[in-house]
Structure formats: C-alpha cells, structure tokens
Structure 1
C-alpha cells in the first residue's frame, strides 16, 4: 500500500481538511483585526487554550481511553510543538505582519515536514526533493528579506514573517511526531492530552496579556471575533486536523496549507470591497512571485517518484 500520492485517503478526511483551510484563511483576518489593539497576541493564546482545553476534555471523558505512561513524553512534545510554540509564534507573527505574507509563508510547511521527516524518521530525500527544498527556501527568504521593506507591504515586517516561519517549522515537527500516536489512540484522546500539556506551558506566557484585556471596550463584532477564534479556529480546527491525521499521511495534511494564499487573497479582496480592513497593498508582484516559487518547491517535494 503506497502513501506517496497526496490525493489518496478517505473523502471525509479531505473534506475535513478543506474545512480547516477555510477556517484558517478567515482566521488571518479575524485575529489580525483584534491584535494588538484589543487583545495581545500571547494573551490570545492564553484565551484559546483556557477555552478549548476543557471542551476537549469533556469530549474525552465521554469516550475515555487509557494512555500508556510511556507515551506521555511524546504527548508533551506534541503539546510543545503543536500548541505552545506553534500558536505563540503564529499569533505574535501575525500581529506584526500582514495576513497575505503569513499565508504565503505557511505554504512552505510541506517542505519543512519533509526535512523534519528526514531528520527524525530517516525519510529519503531525492534530487528532485532537494531542488524543491531549495525553491521553497528561496521563496520564503525572498519574502522575509524583501517583502517587509517594500512599499507594497505596508502591513508586513520581516520580524513578523520570521515568527510565522518558525511557527510553520514547529507545526511541521508536530505533524511528524504526532503520527504514531494517531495510529494508536482515538483523535480526541490525542488532542486532549496535547492541549493539556501545551496549555500548561502557554498559559504562564500569555496570562499577563490576557489579564490586561479591557473587556468593557469590546463591541458585538469583537465578541463574535473572539468566539470565532476560540470555537472554530481552536476547537473545531484541531478536531478536524487530528481526525484527518488518523486517515492520511502528514504530508497530505500539510499540502492543504498550500490553499491558504488563494483563500486569504480572496477574503482580503472581499473585505476591501465590503468596507473592511484593507490589506490589498500587501498583494503585489513580489508576493505573487514568492508564492509561485514556494508552490513550485512544494510540488517537487510532494509529487510521487524516485528521482
């Protein structure tokens, strides 16, 4: 049974990953609209883990499954890479850069997953995949070093772009490390323990900003935005992602991140037409070129073959 073809897998898993892509794309605009004026980025993480972890554990209690003590270390590592580092770097990066840049940088994730799989699992890297890695790195580095200083990128900064890149690397480690757990336990078991460990590490970092939030300044739109991030971007997305990981390979899950620039770009255009936040200045030829170079690298890394 081969797992090298990205499109293989139950249709339910691919439907779940499409849902994840749409929610994540909208989250770029929703979360950016709250940070940092209304909610500090690290404080947002504290809210996310404090709100989602009890929900996961309620579901887990309904379908309790014993976890071997020998797996607690791997679950802790998944919490560190999949929740703590991943979310802290992403939200702090998004607060400092544009949604367009962040979504483009996240498309390098399949390349990072390949590198991490090679380092941790001994996955073979062919000549074509080396070229794909080089193209992905070139596109990301160009965006980091040139995009932040461009007149077309008034909302972007290289510091924010770099944090988003580190978030993508951390998520890549998570996708590889969590796979054996997904083959052994139910999805809700894994995600409950991952959020428990990740939340315990993230809360001390984000608590000061969370306690500094002026809730009296929130309007109806702000409350809806917070609710969307907590219930959809955190709770539902992680459930859908962990379900898909139990059905398809980590590289398949990571390839769906490739949709985000297209989805985010569409939502940015719609927001501008409807009088929302205008990030159209971040959509220029440089961004398009970097996205295409990264996409070419992802394609070379992802397609099956031995050369």
Structure 2
C-alpha cells in the first residue's frame, strides 16, 4: 500500500478515536471515577503494555544522552502535562471552551517546527492551517450552547495542554527517525506514568469497582486500548513519514467526526451548514498534506 495512504489512514483513525472519546469519557467521569484516576489507569496500562512488548519483541533501547533527554521531555510534554492539564482544565471550564482552545495545537506545531526542526513554513501550509482553523472554529462555535460559561484557570490549563502536546509532536519527530515506534512510545509512557501516579492514585483506589456495569468497563477498555495505546502509537508512527504540521492538522477533524458520531447515535442532526464547515477542515488538511515533504516515502 502507498505510504502516503497508510499515513493518512493512521491519522484519520486517530482523529476518529479521539472524536469518539468525548462521548465515551463522559459516561465514566465523574460518575464512576475521577479524571486523574482514569489518567493513571490509562497511562500505567499503556506503560506496562509497551514496556513488555519492547522488552520481548523489539529489544531496542534508546541510547545517548541527547536521545534519552529528548525521550524524557516527550514523556513530560506528550503524556504527563498533556493529560493532567487537559482533564483538570475540562473539569473547570466549559467543553466548548476546551474544544475551541484545542485548535491552537497545529499553530503551536507550526511555530515549534520552524524553531526546533527548521521546517519551512510555506504559504500553502499557513493557508491550509488557517482554513482548517476557520472551519473548526465555526463548527464548534455554532454547535455551542448559549448558556455555556468558561473559567479563566480552566482555559489557561487547556492552553497549556495544547501547547504541551504541540511541542511533543515536534520533539518526538527526530526520535521516530532513529527508533522503532514501540521503543519511543514505551519510554514516553514510562516517564508519564511516574509523573501522573502521585496525582491520581487516590482516585484509582476510591471507586467501588464491583458496582461498575459492563458498559463502563467497555468504556474504560476503549480509553485504554484505543485512545491511549493505539492513538499514541499511530500518531508516533506517522511522524516517521509525515511532518509534525500534518499530524497536528488532523486535530481539526476531531470535531467533525465527533458530530458525525453524535448524528449516528441520534444526538445531533446533519445540516448543510455543518457540511460546509467540515469541507473547510478537509480542504485545509489537504493543503497541508500537499505541501512538499509533508509525507515522505520510506
């Protein structure tokens, strides 16, 4: 299969998983478990899975001071700060605020890519991100409730989360060009687990797990296997062949897919207006993906 098709397929699946997660996570939090407790379960489970896989299958180690330091920074930015700030911020502010602020990620990626990776910022790439940003902003803004209210500290935490994740996408790129994706993701989740456990351990111990219905267990399993393990692995693998800007641009598809899923389960309705906004997002992602060297063969 063409490498370009594989990369776009992986990134689309990641966007689909994250788009589904908004509805699924709401079923678990906070009725059955606190947000930090769920983060601990997700991150520790992923660290164990990737750690065992790397030790038994890939048997590869990250070597050298620079690569080890970079992998630690990826664990801090891509897992610990990213996860903790997002859920803490979402707990304080309105979902619409969080959704709107998360669309700054591709802009952050573009800036850090230019600074750290010396990636060329073409007019087409800037135009594509601007077009996708406009579509995402209009889609989320027009879907919001008139009664939603934000919170300054919550909004700041979401901005910190978005900045941290954007920096992670840029930092992890050089590692993906040298090591197996499982090796890299194993390290970043090990680092992330060490940091998040103190924040959420009490919330892990608090629930009465015997009272959880099957649907909640399935939701937790989805968040561990799909949202944490598969999404991070596919995102990281895609960075071997794609520029961070393209990976970041796919974040704009998440609100589109979230609405499509909501329509499918009868919680939203399809309108021409939403279709136009979705087309803006797809057009923006296309422009970024068509930029020279956005996806490289290898």
Is the TM-score greater than 0.5?
Answer: yes
Q: Which residue of 2 aligns with 1:23?
A: 17
Aligned match for 1:47, one of 28, 41, 58 = 41
Structure 1 residue aligned with 2:82, among 77, 80, 86? Answer: 86
Shift of 1:75: 0.6
Structure 2: unaligned runs, 5 residues or longer? 293-298
Instruction: Flag the 1:153–1:299 CA change in 2: closer, same or farther, 3 A.
Output: farther
Residue 105 (structure 2) pairs with residue 109 (structure 1): yes
Contact 1:107–1:294, Cα closer than 8 Å, also in 2: no
Between the aligned partners of 1:14 and 1:141, the Cα distance in structure 2 is: 23
Residue 56 (str. 1) matches residue 56 (str. 2): no
1:188-227 aligned at under 5 Å gives the runs: 188-227=182-221
Superposition deviation, residue 152 in structure 1: 2.8
Give the match for residue 4 of structure 1. Answer: none
Q: Secondary structure at the match of 2:13?
A: helix
CA 1:243 to 1:303, structure 2 compared with 1: closer, same or farther past 3 Å?
A: closer
- Give the distance between the partners of 1:166 and 1:288, measured in 2 at CA: 31
Give ranges in structure 1 of 5+ residues lacking alignment. Answer: 1-7
Describe the shift of the 1:263–1:141 C-alpha distance in structure 2 as closer, same or farther (beyond 3 A).
closer
What's the TM-score, normalizing by structure 1? 0.77
What does residue 76 of structure 1 align with?
72
Residue 65 in 1 paired to residue 60 in 2? yes
What is the CA-CA distance between 1:126 and the residue it aligns to?
A: 6.7
Mapped pair 1:157 → 2:153: no
Instruction: Name the SS for the 2:179 alignment partner.
Output: coil
- 1:246-280 deviation line (CA, Å, top 9, x unaligned): 12111111111111111011222333x2xxxx5x6
The equivalences for 1:105-254 within 5 A come to 105-123=101-119, 151-154=145-148, 157-159=150-152, 160-254=154-248
SS at structure 2 position matched to 1:10 = helix
- What RMSD in Å do the two structures reach over aligned CA positions? 3.6
CA distance in 2, matches of 1:9, 1:102: 33
Between the aligned partners of 1:85 and 1:42, the Cα distance in structure 2 is 12
**So what's the TM-score if we normalise by structure 2?**
0.79
Closer, same or farther: CA 142–97 of 1 in aligned 2, 3 Å: farther
Conserved 8 A contact 1:111-1:136 = no
